Structure 1
Amino acid sequence: MPKWLPALIINNGYKDWNQYFDDVYRIFERDFVLDKPVYKNIRLGLKKHPEYNGKSATFWHLISEGKIEEERLPCTYRCERITYPKPIIDNSNDKCLKIWIELRKGEKRIHIWYEDENYLVVLAQRGNYILPWTAFYIKEEHRKKKYNKRWNQYKTPS
């Protein structure tokens, strides 16, 4: 594991979920509001709307999962890894990361995959800035193979 990747924030020393959730949000705020990451000298913005419980859409996409936006639920794997997105983005030039770009809904999506930790960060390119779109832990072997295939197709186009 590279020195720049922080430890997970595990929910086993907390008395209740709300205290843990507050700490997860504080880390997000530190990493994305107070000291934003930089990807290849391009500033990162935040998708603020729609807000849920006073928290930005970017935060919710980093810590929750679900196909229906309004019904997304916090995910333990994502919450534990809230410390990962900023250093992965900031260290995107590290050779341990696999990076590729895909077109999705008319915009470029930058994928930064730290395969050793099964963690993927997705950024949306928006002209002169980038939005952290989502980030997640990849548990299933078939999904790991799928992302490896997509990365290989990008680096060796036909």
Structure 2
Amino acid sequence: MALDNLEVLFDDLGLMPTEEQLQEMLGCFMDDFVHSPFKIKDCNVKVIMEQSWHKNFRGMPETFVHLITRESKYTGRREFDHERANRIHWVKQILVNHTSPKVKYFEYADEKGVLKYHFWYEEGSFIVILKPVQPDLLVVTAFCIDEFEKQRYRKRYNAFRR
């Protein structure tokens, strides 16, 4: 699938998915990362398959839960994020198309000094972040970038390119 053809998965995804929607999202995740593994920079792209303890998604793969939830700034707990979840099938497409001019690649060390690889599909306002865990690359997260955050990521991208 080309980046130009990426669309949201559901037109009617609400604040919490239906069981059918959740299973379809999980199916996309399993197809993309478990049933058809792939490499970037000669490294296997990996996900954490251990079961999550999240109350709403107990027993589902940890990385899957991380890709469909976000940490609340108010409660500190992870909550379903319909914008992120509705684009779960974008994650692999952005990664396999990482050499496209539409994907801006940069490296950035977080506040703990951990280097992470960023794959920013700016046109779709979506970013995928991987972390090197030798000898592999681990999917850390993926999320939508709003207008406020665009400036921050553009600065990081420009600083990396210098």
TM-score (norm 2): 0.84
Cα separation, 1, equivalents of 2:50 and 2:77: 15
| SS of the residue 2:12 aligns to | coil
CA drift at 1:115 = 0.4
Kept after mapping to 2: 8 A contact 1:5/1:87:
no
* Matching residue within 113, 124, 130 for 2:120: 113
Q: Tell me what 2:44 maps to.
A: 43
Cα separation, 1, equivalents of 2:97 and 2:141: 17
* Matching residue within 97, 100, 123 for 2:103: 97
Do the aligned partners of residues 47 and 70 (structure 1) sit closer, same or farther apart at CA in structure 2, a change above 3 Å counting? Answer: farther
Unaligned runs of at least 5 residues, structure 2: none
Cα separation, 1, equivalents of 2:5 and 2:36: 16
| SS of the residue 1:9 aligns to | coil
Q: Tell me what 2:87 maps to.
A: 81
Do the aligned partners of residues 13 and 131 (structure 1) sit closer, same or farther apart at CA in structure 2, a change above 3 Å counting? Answer: closer
Specify the code of the residue in structure 2 equivalent to 1:24. Answer: M
Kept after mapping to 1: 8 A contact 2:127/2:142:
yes
Cα separation, 2, equivalents of 1:27 and 1:114: 19
Moved more, 96-105 or 122-131: 96-105
* Matching residue within 113, 116, 132 for 2:139: 132
CA drift at 1:7 = 2.8
Specify the code of the residue in structure 2 equivalent to 1:72. Answer: R
Cα separation, 2, equivalents of 1:70 and 1:34: 33
Kept after mapping to 2: 8 A contact 1:103/1:109:
yes
Q: Tell me what 1:63 maps to.
A: 68
Unaligned runs of at least 5 residues, structure 1: none
| SS of the residue 1:44 aligns to | strand
Cα deviation 1:49-95 (Å, max 9, x = unaligned)? 46231112211111111158983111110111011000111111111
TM-score (norm 1): 0.86
| SS of the residue 2:138 aligns to | strand
Kept after mapping to 2: 8 A contact 1:122/1:132:
yes
Specify the code of the residue in structure 2 equivalent to 1:76. Answer: H
